[in-house]
Amino acid sequence: MANRLEEDRKEIDAIDIQIAQLFEKRFRIVKDIIDYKIENRLPILDSGREAQIIETNCDHIKDDDIRYYFRKMYTDMIELSREYQTDILNNK
């Protein structure tokens, strides 16, 4: 029987697969968004929308001890999303 550390690591591995799949799915949609923005001459940055997304998603975190870390991770993901959109825009 596996020890607790091995079991926890297996569970983390399974979660990481799900995170990777959702990240990829999210960025496919981001690509659709930048295509729309390009077609309609809209700016990449929508700081109000970004702030709303971060706040809304941070509200889903009930554990006060980890909310800070989730906010940091989510902020980084939003920045990566904007970077991806910029790369697509610059290559069109």
DSSP code for 41: T
| Total domains, the chain | 1
Structural domain for 11, as ranges: 4-90
The model's pTM: 0.86
Could you read off the pLDDT of 13-38 as tens digits, one per residue? 999 999 999 999 999 999 999 999 99
What is the C-alpha separation between 41 and 39, in angstroms, rounded?
A: 6
CATH number for the domain spanning 29: value is: 1.20.59.10
Smallest CA-to-CA distance from 86 within 43, 25, 32 is with 43
The whole-number pLDDT of residue 2 equals 73
The whole-number pLDDT of residue 58 equals 97
